[in-house]
Structure 1
Amino acid sequence: MNCLLTGGAGIVGSHIIFEWLHKAIVEKTVNHLFVVLRDNEKVAEQRMLAILQDESRPEFLNNFTLEACLEKITIISNDLSTITKSTLEKFDFDTVIHCAGSTNLASTSDSKEKVHSQNYLVTKQLLEQLPDAVNRFLYISTAYSFGIQDEKVNDCIENYEVTKFRNPYEQSKYESESYVKETCKLKNIDSQILRPSIICGRLIDKPFFETPKFDVFYSWAIFLAKYATKAKEEFRIWIDKESGLNIVPVDFVSKAILHAYLTPTIKELNIVNPTPILHKDYVGDVLESFNVNSYEYVSEKPENLNTFEKLYYKTIGDIFENYISIPDLQYQSDLILKFIDQLKLDVTLGVHENFMNLINFAVEKKFRKSY
């Protein structure tokens, strides 16, 4: 049970490392993890030490010595975009969890190029350079690779026509999924496509609310922290009152990924929250927490924008428009509900009751990246 992991310094990837260590040291259901990390201002080994020693790591890691953790991990200091088969063949693994990628939700030409390169081309490079010993490939996609759908979706994307996307990010993930499945079939490799939804901080393992990076839906709070004082007039915010955000805790996501790793019969899994949190139930609370007390929910984009509205709709509002202003993507959650029941978790995964705790925690941390 040796595995190669990419994206180990990311939000999900680092939590996969944490979960792997627990299963390797305590449950002994997995063995060794080979982690591809590139050097940046720190060399790859230092980056791994920063991940394992950061104060935000889950408390259960305190039960293991650093030496015990490092015994289960080998660092492969390399850049995925140029990694070669000869490099990978030096290491003994037969399974890959490919977690690396960009979550840039913008629709600019630069962001389109970035997500195509970091999501599709890097995945293509990795698959082309896989050692012959690899027989299974887990691709971490997104629950939004289904694009815009009018009906509930199940875990199999082939059942739907996917042609309309909210942004290039979603399209890049869909195209990467398709490439993974086609290429793995040609190479006689079993593929598993796992699709986490929008990710928040931890809600299962202490310390709660932690995440190494505050992005995606946290970007809205980052915007308000910076610009809320400019809201001098009533803020008309365009939302679909019947729709919501589908948010899952990062520790739940990593547990679901390891569950799929240990259950090869799972071919595709939407790692989603069976109960989205409605926009009308959280937007006002967030605005008021930043002292934006004069606001109105509107059903279409307002005209004659005031100063703050112009700033909002030109920046963060433009990115989130297709997530909070149109009907949300709905999921048939049978598979993930079984796993939630197995973990004996609340069906909302704690997101509803802790939404403002998550936001307030991010504000207290000043949205700082951990590693």
Structure 2
Amino acid sequence: MNCLLTGVTGIVGSHILFEWLHKAIVEKSVNHLFVIIRANEKTAEQRLLAILKDTSRPEFLNDFSLETCLEKVTIISHDLANISKEVLDNYNFDTVIHCAGSTNLSSTSDSKKTVHSQNYLVTKQLLDQLPKQVTRFLYISTAYSFGIQNEKVNDTIGNYAVTDFRNPYEQSKYESERFVKETCTQKNIASQILRPSIICGRLLHKPFFETPKFDVFYAWAIFLDKYAIKSKEAFRIWIDKKSGLNIVPVDFVSKAILYAFLNPQIKELNIVNPTQILHKDYVGDVLESFDVNTYEYVTEKPAELNTFEKLYYKTIGDIFENYISIPDLQFHAGLISKLIQQLKLENTLGVHANFMNLINFSVEKKFRKSY
């Protein structure tokens, strides 16, 4: 049960590490984890230690000494973009969890190059260089790799025509999924495609609300924290009142990934919330928390924009337009609901009740990255 993990310094990757350590030390259901970390201004070793020693780590890690944790982890100091078979052949693992990638939601030409490079080309490089002993490859994609769909989707993406995407990020993850499946079939490697939805801070394990990076939907709070003071007139915000965000806590995501790791019969899994949080139920609360008290929900983008609206729709509104202003992607959550029931969790994973706690926590932390 030795495994190679990429992306360990990221939001999901670090929590896979935490969950792995718990299972390796307490449950003994997994064994050794090899992690690829690129050195930057810090060495790969320093970057791993920063993750394990950070005050934002789950409280259950306090039960283990740092030395005990490090016994279960081997660092491969390398850049994943040019990893080679010669390097990987030095380590004994038969399974890969490929978590590294970009979540850039912008549609600029630069962001298109970034997501293609970091999501597709890096995945191709890793698969091309895998040692012969690898028999299983878990690819961490996104629930939005289905693109824009008019019907509820289940866990098998092959059941749907996938042609329209909200941004290059979604398309890069879809194309990477296809490449993973095709290449693994050619190499006689079992593949598993796991698709987390929008990720928020921890809601299962203390300290609650923590996340090493305030990403994706938190960008809305970052924008308001910086610019809400410029809102002098009524703010008309374009939302679809019947739609919402599908948000899952990062510690639930890591549990779902390890659940799939221990259940290789799961070939595809949408790691989603059975119930999305409607835009009309949270947008007003967020705006008011930043003292934007005069606002109106509208069904189309306003024609003549005031100063604050111009700033919003030119920046963050442009990125999120296809997520909050049109019908959302709906999921049949039967498979993930079995895990939720098994873990005895509340059906909405605590997201609805804690949405403003998550936002307020990010503001208190000043949106600082942990490691």
- TM-score normalised per structure 1: 1.00
Q: Report the identity percentage.
A: 81
Per-residue CA deviations over 1:122-174 (Å, capped at 9, x if unaligned) read 00000000000000000000000000000000000000000000000000000
Q: Residue in 2 aligned with 1:322? A: 322
Instruction: Say if 2:18 is the partner of 1:15.
Output: no
Tell me the SS of whatever aligns to 1:155: coil
2:112 paired residue number? 112
The alignment partner of 2:345 has SS state of: coil
Distance 1:249 1:364 in 2: 19
Per-residue Cα deviation, 1:276-329 (whole angstroms, up to 9, x for no partner) = 000000000000000000000000001100000000000000000000000000
1:264 aligns with 2:258: no
- Indicate the SS of the match to 1:305: coil
What are the within-5 Å matches in structure 2 for residues 110-189 of structure 1?
110-189=110-189
Instruction: Supply the distance in 1 between the matched residues of 2:55 and 2:8 (Cα, whole angstroms).
Output: 17
Question: What residue is the counterpart of 1:205 in the other structure?
Answer: 205
Within 5 Å, give how 1:301-312 maps onto structure 2: 301-312=301-312
Local SS of the residue matching 2:341: helix
Specify the alignment match of 2:70 in structure 1.
70
Where do 5+ consecutive residues of structure 1 fail to align? none
* 2:295 maps to 1:295: yes
Aligned to 1:3: 3
Letter aligned with residue 140 of structure 1: I
Distance in 1 (CA, whole Å) between partners of 2:193 and 2:215 is 23
Correspondence 1:250 to 2:246: no
Distance 2:41 2:73 in 1: 21
Secondary structure (helix, strand or coil) at the match of 1:194 reads: strand
C-alpha separation in 2, matches of 1:288 and 1:41: 40
The separation in 2 between residues aligned to 1:190 and 1:44, in whole angstroms, is 30
Instruction: Tell me the matched-pair count.
Output: 371
- Give the ranges of 4+ consecutive aligned residues of structure 1 lying more than 3 Å apart after TM superposition: none
Query: Which amino acid is the alignment partner of residue 340 of structure 1?
Result: I
- By how many angstroms is 1:195 displaced? 0.1
Q: CA RMSD in A?
A: 0.2
Aligned-partner Cα distance in 2 for 1:182–1:240:
37
Which whole-Å CA distance do the structure 2 matches of 1:265 and 1:340 have between them? 18
1:361 pairs with 2:348: no
Deviation readout 1:199-226 (Å, 9 max, x if unpaired): 0000000000000000100000000000
Secondary structure in structure 2 of the residue aligned to 1:270: strand
Matched letter for residue 32 of structure 1: H
What secondary structure sits across from 1:297 in the alignment? strand
Deviations 1:246-275 (CA, angstroms, capped at 9, x unpaired): 000000000000000000000000000000
TM-score, with structure 2 as normaliser: 1.00
3-state SS of paired residue (1:169): helix
Q: Which runs of 5+ in 2 are unaligned?
A: none
The one-letter code matched in structure 2 to 1:83 is I
Distance 1:292 1:61 in 2: 40
Amino acid at match of 2:71: E
**Equivalence for 1:96:** 96
Give secondary structure in 1 for the equivalent of 2:192.
strand
Letter in 2 for 1:220: W
SS at match of 1:348: coil
Match of 1:239 in 2: 239
- Give the C-alpha shift of residue 41 in structure 1: 1.1
| Aligned counterparts of 2:299 and 2:81: Cα–Cα separation in 1 | 43
Question: What secondary structure, in the 3-state scheme, does the structure 2 residue paired with 1:301 have?
Answer: coil
Instruction: Name the SS of the counterpart of 1:103 in structure 2.
Output: coil
Deviation at 1:32, TM superposition (A): 0.2
Distance in 2 (CA, whole Å) between partners of 1:23 and 1:284 is: 41
